Structure 1
Amino acid sequence: MKIISCPLELKEYLKGENNSTSFQGNRTIGFVPTMGALHQGHISLIKKAKEQNELVVVSIFLNPTQFLKGEDLDKYPKRDEADKQICKLSGVDILFFPHVADMYTNDEVTLCAPKVRGYVLEGNSRPSHFNGVLTVVMKLLNIVTPTRAYFGKKDAQQLNLISLMVKQLFMSTQIIPVDTVRESDGLALSSRNAYLSPNDREEALKISSSLRQASAMVVKNILDSKEIIKEMRNTLGDLEVFYVEVLNRDFEQLSHVEIGNTIILVEVRVGTTRLLDNIWL
C-alpha cells in the first residue's frame, strides 16, 4: 500500500498508473473517502470498491469545514496508525492522507448546498455543514478522478446531496450507495459511537428499535406517515429528537410510504452525541 499526502503527487501517481506499459487502457478506480476512525462500515465500502474496480484509493481527512463552531472537531476520534493498518489489511492500493494545509488555503472557492435540500433535517440544526461536505468531496473527486466513489446509506442526506452535486455539475464519477453495517444488537456503526457511555449505548438502541417498529408497521400495511412517526417517537421515549421523517428518494415529504421510493430517517442526541439512522423501503 502506498501512502500519499500531497494532492498533486497523488494526481501524478494515478496518471502514471494509467500510463503504465504493463496495463492497456485506463484502470477503473474505486474511491472511499473517510474521516478516519475506521470500522466495519468503512471496511464494507472498501470491500465493495475492491469487487468493482482494479485500483482502490481510500482517503483519511478530518475535514474542518463541515464542523460548526462548538462541535466535536477537536475530540473526533483519531486512530491514524490503526487506520493505516486496517487499510493495508483490507487490500487498499493507495491511502491518501493529506493535511489541512494540503487541502485548503486562506481564500477558498467553496460550494453551497442546495437552498432547500441542504437546509432540512441535519442541515436545519447544522447550517452550512453540507457546504463543507460538498466542498471537500468535490476536491477529493477532482484529485482522485475515480470511476466510482462509495458512500454509506446511513448518511442518507449526505449521499443524496453528493449524488445531486455529481449529477448537476456533470461529473463523470459514479456514486455507489452501500448498505448500513450494524452491530449484532442493531446499532448502526459510527465513529461517534466511541463517545457513548455504557448507559448511552443502551439508550441508543432505541434508534434501531424505532426503525424496526416502522418496518413492522409497513409489513402490516400501515403506510400513513403520521402514524409511523408517532409510533417511532413513542419508541424513542425521552431521547432528544432532532427529527423523524418519512421522505421519498428525492427527500420530499410523503403522506404515505411508497414501497421502493421511501427513506425513513431519524436523528437524536444520546448523552452529548448526535446519532442518525434510517431504513430504505
Structure 2
Amino acid sequence: MSGTGPARRLPLIAVVGPTGSGKSELGIALAHRLDGEVINADAMQFYRGMDIGTAKLPVEDREGVPHHLLDILDVREEASVARYQEYSRQVITDIRARGNVPILVGGSGLYVRAALDELEFPPTDAAVRARLETENDENGPAALRDRLAVVDPVSAERLGDERRVIRALEVHEITGRPFSSFMPQRVYHQPAVQIGLQVDREVLKERLAKRVHLMVEAGLEDEVRMLDTQGLRQGRTAARALGYSQFLRVLDGEWSTAEAAADTIAATRRFARRQLTWFRADQRIHWVDWRHSELVELAERAVRSGGALS
C-alpha cells in the first residue's frame, strides 16, 4: 500500500465493540479501502504465544495489511496502559509519515481511550506507596480516607476500596494535585472516528460459545501448557486472560476440559457485556450493524463523513 493525498486527510480510525463481533475483519477491510494499517488495541494480543485463546489473526489471514503492537510482550510482563499510549501514538505518527491511515482495532476500552483521548497518567512512587500502605495497616483505612477527604473530596467520595484510596493519596503527595484532576475527558488527542459494531446479544452469546469450543479443538490446552513453561503463572496480566486462567486449572487437575470450557464461555459472555456497557457510554461512536450486508461501505462512509480533516 502506498499513501495518497486523501489518505493523509482521513482521521484516525478506531474499530471497537465486544469480543467476537468481527472487529479484526472490518479493520482489514477498511485498511484495504483507505490505505490503512492496523494497530492492535486488544491487551491480551500483546502477548507472544497467546494466539488461540485470544483469537489472534494468523499472519496469512491479515491479507497483507500491516499489523502493529501484536506479540510485543512475553507472558511474564505486565501490560501498561501508559506504555501503550506512548507506543500507539508513535506507531500512529509512523503510519502517518508513510501517508497511510492508522486504524485501531480492539475491545480493550481503556487502551483505546489511551490512544484516542487526552488521557494523562499520574506518576508513581514505590516508596510513597509503601509508606501509605504501612500507615493503612497500622492505623486502618478510615484515617487515610479522612486525609483524602481534606485534599481531594471528589476522590474520597468516589473511591471505595483501600488500594484506590492509597493511590489517590500517593498521587496527591507526588504531584500536589488531586487524583480527581487526572480523570479522563472525552476529548480526542487528534481528529478521530470510532466505528462500533452493534450486535444481536443472543446471537453473540451463541457465537462466543462456538468460538470457545473451536479454540479448545484447535489446541488451547496445549497452548496454555506451553506458556506455563514460559512463566504464564507469574504474569499479572496474562495469567488472568480468558481461557488461560481456566485451563491452568485443567493442568493442575482441578477441572476437566469441559468444565474449563464452560467457565470460559460464561466469563467471555460477561466480558462482552462489560465491553458493550463501556463503549455504549461513549456518545461519539458511530454504530453499525455487525451483520449488515453493506457493513464495510457503511463504516467507510462514517469515516469519510464523520471526521475527515479539512
What TM-score do the two structures reach when normalised by structure 1?
A: 0.37
Larger Rg over CA atoms: 2
Structure showing the higher strand proportion among its residues: 1
What TM-score do the two structures reach when normalised by structure 2?
A: 0.34
